[in-house]
Structure 1
Amino acid sequence: MRTPFFSALALGAYTGGLALAADVANLSSCLKSISADVFPGLKAIAVDVWKNPETGLEEHHAHDLVVDYFTHVRPREWKVTRHAYGLPTAWKLEFESRPRGTPCSAKLPVIGFMAEYDGLVGIGHACGHHQILLNGLAAASMTRQALITLGIPARVVVVGTPDEENGAGKCRLQKKHAFKDADVWFMAHPTNANAVQPLKARINANADFKAATHQEAVRKAYEALTVVRDLALPGTSSSAVPVTEVGMFACNIVQGEISLGINGTSLEAVQQTVSSILDSTYPGVSFTTAYDTDGGVNLTAIGPGGHASENTKSPLDLTVETFSALSGQDGVSFYLPGNTTLAELGVIFDTRTRYTRDLDSVLNAVEAAIGDKADAIVTDTVYPALEITPFVSDMFIDLMKAPDFGSQNWPISTFAPASTDAGCVQNAVVDPATNALLGADKVVFHPNFGICAPGVACALNHEPAFHDAAGTEYSFTRTEFVAQLSRPPSSL
């Protein structure tokens, strides 16, 4: 792995080994001054994107906001490429600082920033990608001006990367060599706490269950759900979280509400069964039961979705356990309320594991467990695990501990909370015995930063409540702080 030299991690003053002038000692105050100029306009873009969420590959409004801003509001600051690399909602910004005395033939060091801006189906920016967009644009804009002010020769590249959530936009862009310009790429992700941490490898298995009747298709799907739920998966911290293709669904959204209809038993029997299952392993989950127009008992389970349910039991899990408890009784059948004319059901198994090398074995275990219950299983793009780059991470954490940067605790965590297609950009290689990082195509620095005000209960990413947290003034202040890495206000 090529490890470039950094100077004041800060935004940027990646210099490829150049010795900086003494003015770098004032970089914190310099960046704060620059931020006062550039941040308000960029924040307005992010607020607009938050208010008008678009799902992956449909981010036309977000694309146009960024392109129009740097074309018309702040013209000639950047070379702007719309619809970059053949993707309608991708864009690229480029800037070159070549101070007087820099040879025309000199190869300039390059620093890259990535920006995301896709929302989630039904719950908008409940993962905060508008803040990733804002962080990338603000950090790059501050870097640009700092290079000019300090007379540092370098290039800055920003790539707008669509469709992180579902379609692996960065993996598509990587195949188009979108990240070849820089060896180092920065982005920062909002969540509920500060941490530098790895992210898991991911692949989705889309299983289709068909039968002669609706009830038979539902039974086949729920039998598969039961088997996968009880499966001992190989690898480290592996999971196969299911999402049924009814109501609001997407491959990375665990439903917060799901209904299962039950025929052949009484309302009281269903209530007793569900009550005996529901315990402390279902935090925040509740249920209702009622007879419905389909002739049976409608069990509706309600609770947290998103990342909050990945390490606990979800509403869907409650329906699966209820199915398991009742499915052996004579005369009992199951249906999806309001969907009884359909004779097929799709289930997405969001399959993840800590290290990329284990992903095939985890997927094979899931597919083997499902077996011939599914008529077809189709997989999507692999998100490789994102590993921590020690040099950059240590520098960042030391910087955060400094009084000039707020004396913050920004821990390195071994827990991998989610997945990202930025793993396609890094393409890490780890030691098979020790899991130590051996090499990578690119250095990708991806810290998570907390956006929740002190003392305020905060949802986790992909929960509807996180959408609200990601639109607060406090969250925008946090994003500005991370972008400039300068002394935060005393309230932070």
Structure 2
Amino acid sequence: MRSGFRFAIAIACAAPCLAAELPNLTSQLQDISALASRGLAAITDAASAAPPHPAADLSNLTPALQNISAAVFPDLVAIAADVHEHPETSTEEFHAHNAVVQYFAKINPGLWEVTPSAFGEPTAWTLEFENRPRGYRGELPAVGFMSEYDALVGIGHACGHNLILLNGIAAAAMARQAVIDFDIPARLIVVGTPDEEDTGGKHRLEVAGAFKDSDVWMMAHPATSNIVSPLGARANALLEISGKTHAEAVKKAYKELVTVVDLAGKLPGDATTAVPVENVGMFASNIVQTRIDLGVAGLPLDEVNKTIADIGDDHDIEWAVSSSENGVDITFEGRGGHGSEGSFSALSLSVEVFRQLSASHPDVSYYLPSNTSHTELDITINVRSRYTLDMEEIKSSIQDAVECIPDSIEWDLQYPATEVTPFLPDLLIEVMSKPEYGSQKWTIINTTPAATDASFVQQAVVDPETRKLVKAKRAVFHPNFSICEESAKCPYNHEPEFAHLAGTDFAYAQTEKMARSLAEIAVKLLNDKELMDQATAITR
């Protein structure tokens, strides 16, 4: 009790003393805080006032990258070849994910900081590297690369995403060694981006913050020519159609297909296409179907065959007719390709045959030879246009045209258009014209051969009147490089034969040049602030 009493008295006696000294203590603390703030400001000012890191002499960069590529590319092309042999569709790219992660984390570790299953995406990954020269205290300039690796339903890597994967990791690996050799301050990032073909993996990665640490992102896509072009806006409409009987469902679906086909040339927007897909068997919304089966009940085989011949002889479509217990079975086969193409396809011929026979024989019924019990036949309309600005009007026009027949119409995630980022194409043309790159000729065009979810990374803003790019969240560079030998007649992206092309030695050799050129551009940007400012001017 006594000790407690004395303690209480001591506190009571000390309180007036502390109260008396409090103003002095407060003043002293304020002085200390002010001194600390001035010291921190002085340190910050000293860092900002420090002379910039001297730019490296890059006169020997091109041959240096050739030597670097000879050392790093063989291992990386083996990864791409493995991925080509094990195609996986969107969000299922576990083999591709593991091949990259295992190589950089276990087989050849220590070069990159490796993050598997990055940003909540099971098949995404990141590679990160920083080079900070001795004495350099400034912020590291950054360049990012994007790698895709999803395949197509039924036809494997017929869009060549195994080469996009290779391009990203190879360009980054070459740039990494170059910034070390030339002592350049740099941060390099590679993001493995799954699910480009289907539901927009880069959109989810963008929301998760995957691209926030660089204002420049580069990738390259295999194609049949060397071009830099915008990439169009894209959306898919799913039409659910049903009938009381199988024949009624098929007839309603084909009436809707006629409506969609007749929209050609009538939709608003620039270079707008609406390509229908019959959701039967193995199909995908962004692939022109190569085979379509249709049955006709109630007409003789010869009459059906003559009707097809009258229409099909003008087009490069093959067909075969045969009698069955249900009627006349027809198989149409034609060239496939990308969903952006409005060309005459196997489905187009089947629609025209339906149109002709329905006009001459209104009571004829139709069926699907593969399954005559289905009472539902859904259709997807793959809609593409040059500019994002036109998409709402286009979608409204399509909705108005088709809304009478379907039970429901749903639209998927819309891909915005990707615009050509200024300045970077000029750097590429300059680099690719060198003998070390085969003195390649490149063209900049304003047509859109396809669409890409890289648009979610760029987030372009276009003037509504002039349709010119006025701003972007990031400078995104997406050139298309040819993997087609000059003497060869090459298939287009999304045709089954393109999958074979994407696995050839020539395709890998072309990818090496493409990756090396992007590495050269990246190193030049990282070394020269003025060049980097020009490349990223569109973001300010």
Which bracket does the TM-score occupy, shorter chain normalised? over 0.9
The correspondence for 1:158, drawn from 190, 201, 207, is 190
1:125 equivalenced with 2:157 (yes/no): yes
Q: Residues 308 and 460 of structure 1 are in contact (CA less than 8 Å); yes or no, is this contact kept in structure 2?
A: no
Q: Residues 308 and 461 of structure 1 are in contact (CA less than 8 Å); yes or no, is this contact kept in structure 2?
A: no
Deviation at 1:331, TM superposition (A): 2.6
Deviation at 1:407, TM superposition (A): 2.5
Partner of 1:83: 117
Q: Residues 177-205 of structure 1, C-alpha deviation per residue, up to 9 Å, x if partnerless? A: 11101101000000111111111100000
Partner of 2:56: 21
The correspondence for 2:337, drawn from 302, 306, 310, is 306
Partner of 1:37: 71
Q: Residues 147 and 168 of structure 2 are in contact (CA less than 8 Å); yes or no, is this contact kept in structure 1?
A: yes
The correspondence for 1:256, drawn from 279, 285, 290, is 290
The correspondence for 1:74, drawn from 108, 120, 127, is 108
Deviation at 1:253, TM superposition (A): 1.5
1:319 equivalenced with 2:350 (yes/no): yes
Deviation at 1:486, TM superposition (A): 9.5
Partner of 1:50: 84
C-alpha distance in structure 2 between counterparts of 1:181 and 1:240, whole Å = 37
Backbone CA RMSD of aligned residues: 1.5
C-alpha distance in structure 2 between counterparts of 1:443 and 1:279, whole Å = 48
Q: Residues 131 and 184 of structure 2 are in contact (CA less than 8 Å); yes or no, is this contact kept in structure 1?
A: yes
Matches within 5 A, 1:110-189: 110-189=142-221
1:100 equivalenced with 2:134 (yes/no): yes
SS in 1 for 2:403: helix
The correspondence for 1:344, drawn from 373, 376, 380, is 376
Partner of 1:392: 424
SS in 2 for 1:125: coil
Partner of 1:449: 481
1:203 equivalenced with 2:238 (yes/no): no
The one-letter amino acid of 2:113's match is K
Deviation at 1:466, TM superposition (A): 0.4
The one-letter amino acid of 2:56's match is A
SS in 1 for 2:294: strand
Deviation at 1:308, TM superposition (A): 8.4
The one-letter amino acid of 2:124's match is A
Partner of 2:415: 383
1:233 equivalenced with 2:267 (yes/no): yes
- The farther-off stretch of 50-59 and 309-318 is 309-318
SS in 2 for 1:289: strand
Q: Residues 5-35 of structure 1, C-alpha deviation per residue, up to 9 Å, x if partnerless? A: xxxxxxxxxxxx976322x111111111111
SS in 2 for 1:170: helix
C-alpha distance in structure 2 between counterparts of 1:164 and 1:158, whole Å = 16
Partner of 1:490: none
Partner of 2:310: 276
Task: Flag the structure with larger Rg.
Answer: 2
Deviation at 1:300, TM superposition (A): 1.0
Deviation at 1:138, TM superposition (A): 0.1
The one-letter amino acid of 1:466's match is F
The one-letter amino acid of 2:219's match is M
Partner of 1:436: 468
Q: Residues 286 and 339 of structure 2 are in contact (CA less than 8 Å); yes or no, is this contact kept in structure 1?
A: no
SS in 2 for 1:306: coil
- The farther-off stretch of 376-385 and 88-97 is 376-385
Q: Residues 260 and 299 of structure 1 are in contact (CA less than 8 Å); yes or no, is this contact kept in structure 2?
A: yes
SS in 1 for 2:231: coil
C-alpha distance in structure 1 between counterparts of 2:458 and 2:477, whole Å = 9
Q: Residues 80 and 166 of structure 2 are in contact (CA less than 8 Å); yes or no, is this contact kept in structure 1?
A: yes
C-alpha distance in structure 2 between counterparts of 1:114 and 1:163, whole Å = 13
1:363 equivalenced with 2:398 (yes/no): no
The one-letter amino acid of 2:285's match is C
- The farther-off stretch of 413-422 and 53-62 is 413-422
Q: Residues 147-181 of structure 1, C-alpha deviation per residue, up to 9 Å, x if partnerless? A: 10000001000000001001111111111111101
C-alpha distance in structure 2 between counterparts of 1:261 and 1:448, whole Å = 41
| Unaligned runs of at least 5 residues, structure 2 | 1-51, 520-540
The one-letter amino acid of 1:297's match is V
The one-letter amino acid of 1:30's match is A
C-alpha distance in structure 2 between counterparts of 1:322 and 1:350, whole Å = 22
Q: Residues 218 and 518 of structure 2 are in contact (CA less than 8 Å); yes or no, is this contact kept in structure 1?
A: no
More helix per residue: 2
Deviation at 1:454, TM superposition (A): 2.3
Deviation at 1:403, TM superposition (A): 4.2
The one-letter amino acid of 1:335's match is Y
Count of residues in Structure 1 that have an aligned counterpart in Structure 2:
465
C-alpha distance in structure 2 between counterparts of 1:144 and 1:290, whole Å = 61
Deviation at 1:361, TM superposition (A): 1.3
Taking structure 2 as the reference length, what is the TM-score of the superposition? Answer: 0.84
Taking structure 1 as the reference length, what is the TM-score of the superposition? Answer: 0.92
Q: Residues 170 and 421 of structure 1 are in contact (CA less than 8 Å); yes or no, is this contact kept in structure 2?
A: yes
Change (3 A) 1:205 1:467: same
The one-letter amino acid of 2:308's match is V
Percent identity between matched residues is 51
